[in-house]
Amino acid sequence: MNTAALPGNSEKIPFVVWNTSGTAKKQVIAKELHLFRDYNLFVWDGYEAAEAVEMPNLVLRDANGNAVPAKIENAGISFGYDLPDDRFRQPYMAKKVLVTFEAEVPAMGYATYYLEQAEPDQNQETSADFANERVLENENLKVTVNEDGSYQILNKETGRTYENLGFYEDTGDMGNEYIYIQDSGKQTVTTKGMKLRFAVWRKMHSAR
């Protein structure tokens, strides 16, 4: 995908959102991008170099250069490697950012977006969807996240509310591959009723 024609002369972090369905889509997505990579062969040195990179004030734009409301946050540091055609794999440590926004993508098509450093007096706009980090809402649904990481969903069309969804529960099992039998101690480990930070909830559910 050639992103050389994107507007402006500043450094950019481009990416593409694909839609393989037969209908246009407008959907909130979360995408991790690499802000910085260090190819130092000594992994610890690469980690320290990535950790030293400060998070700049970034803005998300579409292919026409229009600012797109988004939540942009530090996503930490991770290890990875490139697979070039002409040499052995190249390991690196990467400083990452997580971009959450509402993408509009045509049917059987794609949309190009990019991150760039914002002007000193320019602040990244925030969509109303992210104004309250415990509430996700559109014209059809309202999702409210509880303190224990579970959530409830209100179906606006029917007025019905589904409560206590998404909590985690772990119990012992002394059955076989066909039958579940809880162990004699009957100990249950659950997140229900616990107070979890929302950032932890988001990480747990995005990994599902």
Which among 19, 4, 31 has a CA at the least distance from the CA of 104? 19
pLDDT in tens, 149-178: 888 999 998 989 998 898 888 888 888 888
Beta-sheet pairing, 161-165 with 25-38:
unpaired
Calculate the alpha carbon distances from 155 to 29, 87, 158, 160 in Å. Answer: 21, 54, 6, 5
Q: Is the pLDDT of residue 207 over 70?
A: no
C-alpha–C-alpha distance, residues 199 and 158, integer Å: 30
pLDDT in tens, 81-123: 888 888 888 888 889 999 999 999 999 999 999 999 887 655 5
Decide: 79 and 43 in contact? Cβ < 8 Å: yes
DSSP three-state, residue 182: coil
> Can you list the pairs that 77-80 forms with residues at least 24 positions away whose Cβ atoms lie under 8 Å?
77/47, 77/50, 77/51, 79/43
Look-up: residue for tokens 């002369």?
9
Please give the mean pLDDT across all residues of the chain. 82
| H helices present in the chain, as ranges | 43-51, 198-206
136 or 196, greater pLDDT = 136
- Above pLDDT 70, what percent of the chain? 86
Q: Which token pair is 195?
A: 């107070």
pLDDT in tens, 194-205: 765 544 445 555
C-alpha–C-alpha distance, residues 50 and 45, integer Å: 9
DSSP three-state, residue 194: coil
Q: Is the pLDDT of residue 57 over 80?
A: yes
Domains of the chain: 1-126 (2.60.40.2210)
What is the mean pLDDT of the segment spanning 123-127?
45
Which among 15, 1, 22, 17 has a CA at the least distance from the CA of 108? 22
